[in-house]
Structure 1
Amino acid sequence: MGGAGWTRQSQRDFSSFVISSRLIEIPFKTGELTWTNRRSGFLNIAERLDRFFIAGDWTESHWANEAEILLITGSDHYPICLRIQDDNAPERCPFKFEAMWLWDISIRNLVEQWWKHKPDNPGNKAFILLKKLQFLKEQFKRWNRESFRNILKEKVDLEEGLKTLHEQIISQGMDEDL
């Protein structure tokens, strides 16, 4: 904390605007301070400069809102993110072809081999295509686990470690160790 601060009149004007506009502030789930002078120790100044506000009637909808302070990069402002999620949306993530798979020299032969698989109960051409695509998806998922491990989980674990470090920086300030 530190810095020059607001005047009382500017605080009243801002509060009046927020109230008259029926705005609701979305709290950050990962801290409060969004700016730092990037100095360590007693020279560190950190403040909350950036915020998210939503219209009051938005809170009555089925959308979930979550604000987060992200990892600091080159700026003196922490990037902030507002996630808006439809509560009615399905939780499962759709299958996605990963570009990294193309770097494996065996992929072409594997796809050709998997595509030759015949469905157990054949039907019309559209049904056969659907079954082949489902089989292909399962083969890709299995092959991905065996060949690349679970790199998405490893990425999430690394991001969690960075997030913990980031939260320490937000709460304790920047120092040489952090």
Structure 2
Amino acid sequence: MNGEFEVIGGDFNATLENSKKKGGLQTITRLELDFQAFIDGNNQRDIPTKNGKLTWTNRRKDFTSIAQKHDYFFVFGNWNNELFMYEAEILPYIGSDHFLVLLRIKLEDPKGGSPFKFEDMWLRDPSLKELVHKWWMETRIGNQSKLYLFSKKLAHVKRRLKENKEQFKNIFVETDRISRELEALNKVIIENGMGVAEYELEKRLN
């Protein structure tokens, strides 16, 4: 970042302290001691995850369940600079034994709106084709070129698609509900590991 600081991150397959272990051997290995020495010796800062501390689990549901923090972001250099803000967040489970960890580095306030993106999920709604045809026909302009009319029709359809919360609500309601339940469950797992109840609920939600 323009010589201000550097970031390294990923799956280090090691845990820095026992407080970031649930289940299994509650000891620090020689490899992990070397890992800690490397971090301290290079004046690196571990960016903590804001919504939990366990990023890996063997996804077992009984006494053999193990959960640890294996995934880190480290920043070194001029990381006290007030121009920079850091935030790490553990993302919802997507099928791996690791949770993804997202690092946000905020340099300045974002400018402009988000770009328009067509969602493939919209195609599952049987009313989409009829609605797009209806919106396409809503735009009528007098003596203008066909290319100008075409661009205006596209802009109108895009605007109506962005208002999809009402038109396509039936698609998203169930997905949103399940996503919220899974996110709440993830918070439990990344903080406390996985028990029998958590294992069964995660399986059902996925």
TM-score by length of 1: 0.67
Closer, same or farther in 2 for the Cα pair 1:8/1:14, shift >3 Å?
Answer: same
Q: Distance in 1 between matches of 2:57 and 2:126?
A: 48
1:84 and 2:104 matched: yes
Give the structure 2 partner of residue 6 of structure 1.
28
For residues 67-87 of structure 1, the C-alpha deviation after alignment (integer angstroms, 9 at most, x for no partner) is 315427353xx3232233554
Farther off after superposition, 162-171 or 106-115: 106-115
Deviation for aligned residue 1:51: 1.8
Deviation for aligned residue 1:27: 0.7
Give the structure 2 partner of residue 47 of structure 1.
68
Q: Distance in 2 between matches of 1:123 and 1:62?
A: 50
Give the structure 1 partner of residue 155 of structure 2.
134
Pairwise CA RMSD: 3.8
For residues 54-112 of structure 1, the C-alpha deviation after alignment (integer angstroms, 9 at most, x for no partner) is 2333563546432315427353xx32322335543247432222234445566556545
Secondary structure in 1 matching 2:89: strand
Q: Distance in 2 between matches of 1:10 and 1:174?
A: 23
1:32 and 2:58 matched: no
Give the structure 2 partner of residue 166 of structure 1.
186
Q: Distance in 2 between matches of 1:94 and 1:22?
A: 39
For residues 4-39 of structure 1, the C-alpha deviation after alignment (integer angstroms, 9 at most, x for no partner) is 63247852x433322332322111122212333444
| Gaps in structure 2 of 5+ consecutive residues | 1-21, 199-206
Query: Percent same amino acid at aligned positions?
Result: 34
Indicate conservation of the 8 Å contact 1:52/1:82, yes or no.
no
Q: Distance in 2 between matches of 1:108 and 1:38?
A: 42
Task: Count matched residues.
Answer: 173
Deviation for aligned residue 1:162: 0.6
Indicate conservation of the 8 Å contact 1:36/1:44, yes or no.
yes
Q: Distance in 2 between matches of 1:107 and 1:37?
A: 42
Closer, same or farther in 2 for the Cα pair 1:159/1:92, shift >3 Å?
Answer: farther
Secondary structure in 2 matching 1:97: coil
Q: Distance in 2 between matches of 1:59 and 1:104?
A: 50
Indicate conservation of the 8 Å contact 1:119/1:132, yes or no.
no
Give, as a single letter, the amino acid of the residue that structure 2 aligns with 1:17: F
| Gaps in structure 1 of 5+ consecutive residues | none
Closer, same or farther in 2 for the Cα pair 1:148/1:27, shift >3 Å?
Answer: same
Deviation for aligned residue 1:156: 3.9
Farther off after superposition, 36-45 or 123-132: 123-132
Secondary structure in 2 matching 1:71: coil
Give, as a single letter, the amino acid of the residue that structure 2 aligns with 1:118: R
Aligned 1:118-133 pairs, distance under 5 A = 118=140, 131-133=152-154
Indicate conservation of the 8 Å contact 1:70/1:81, yes or no.
no
Give the structure 1 partner of residue 19 of structure 2.
none
Q: Distance in 2 between matches of 1:9 and 1:99?
A: 46
Match of 1:68 among 90, 100, 104: 90
